[in-house]
Structure 1
């Protein structure tokens, strides 16, 4: 199974999932550009508040759809307000900082945006129920997001002419959307499961409309790998600690089919790192990847070509010092996959 835009061939590369701690866009961009020479990314700083969080940032990308924060969370509204303006301002600030620290950069550069199904599962309609309950609203979100992402990618190309954009769609809610386990706005019931074919078609529509390789990130159990591959995802980003042997067949088919795996193996918080004991052992952090490779009987030479290393999730909950260390550890772990594939 192939995709129109295969993921860049980045042997021994690492990247981040998206978020970093703190509120200083320039410091975040400096950290990313300094630590990740092969695949830097546009940092997200949710500590700044509503509009910088994953859902608020995604809502800010929508075209002719607007949302604002309510006590219950994000809700669609008729016109742009303070929260929309703030989301636009922070995104512009982040792009300014990235542009400053990537002036001479040429190569792949990753943007992140929340995907249509997680947006629909997270934003309420004006009357209070989640947009996921309304098929028409889900369709409008996907179309609006697609246009917003086109503009976002075009802006990046203007700012960093040497960049080869890669897009990461964050879909942590997708397994729950497919399983019918997303709670209603009241929290007392669950919304009906979305048909898998319909979910796939919506994702395919977004991915095919964008002329860049797309990775889908899902830090939840039960990542629907075959669905994502059929939808056109060139890569899948996942938390390796959540995988079970039941995922083996789907993972093996994806890897042999050319899908890149962004393996979340480096702890994403200081506490998790202390418990794991892996901070001083970069090669040890990819032990689970090597174990999977041997279990599936895959060619060791494919290891460094198909796998990129990332933290298990975003680094917003880490200290600034550990966030830098986690990115550095990811780079060292990725190199170990190439230097010692066995």
Structure 2
């Protein structure tokens, strides 16, 4: 069925990664994230320390609440996470009890890759299989190039530029960042391969076009994890800052284009590690906010709901990598 309004659905489901909200949540949350991947305990302890440095709280759950509060849709809104409360299965069970028959799923990941697309589809399928009478759940399309997402990121990028010293703004470099993934995953991200990086570059180009078409920009990566023997997308943001410094760049605005909320990977990898590297190099440095609850991003959700019901992704879309990644947690 193809329909052009929210009448195609009787509920909206926000699906997100999830995050701890108090210190004692952190390790159980991380164990959920890496279950079955054989991640060394010392790696979990290192990531746990990142969270505990911020009081054991990831901002991502509160940002989901803020997004839900900001939405203006004529549907009941539900929320379920992959890795922490409220868990997706529990939410689907509540939806079934409430009589929901067909829900649209808005996933807080804008791009194509195993982790940001196929894994969420698998999560939804598992949750539905565990709940008798579960509603049909239709994942809304990728929105990396949607005008609402681009406008929100352009506004935040302008604000970050304005936060630089006036003497540095004109020549400041935009460095867009996204979660690195294994090269094997990037090469099989979609039916034609390479969709993840190509989509990120398109989004970055669209944002730059709105902010300042003449301004130089790059795409760098953050949050790499996993064994050193497994190649991941490069360059790392801190390595890239060193190269820019060597090339004479004196000011940088980092734009976390690969994320839609300021969760732990954003605030630790950029606001702590990258900022410290920039300070060490003597570079002026600011970071743009993620889309969050920018009005254009919020209205984008309603616009996606009004689009024709998307077809389910093909079975070969965004397949699992040849070797499972072990990313840091949000």
TM-score under structure 1 length normalisation: 0.30
The higher-RCO structure (CA 8 Å, 6+ apart) is 2
TM-score under structure 2 length normalisation: 0.31
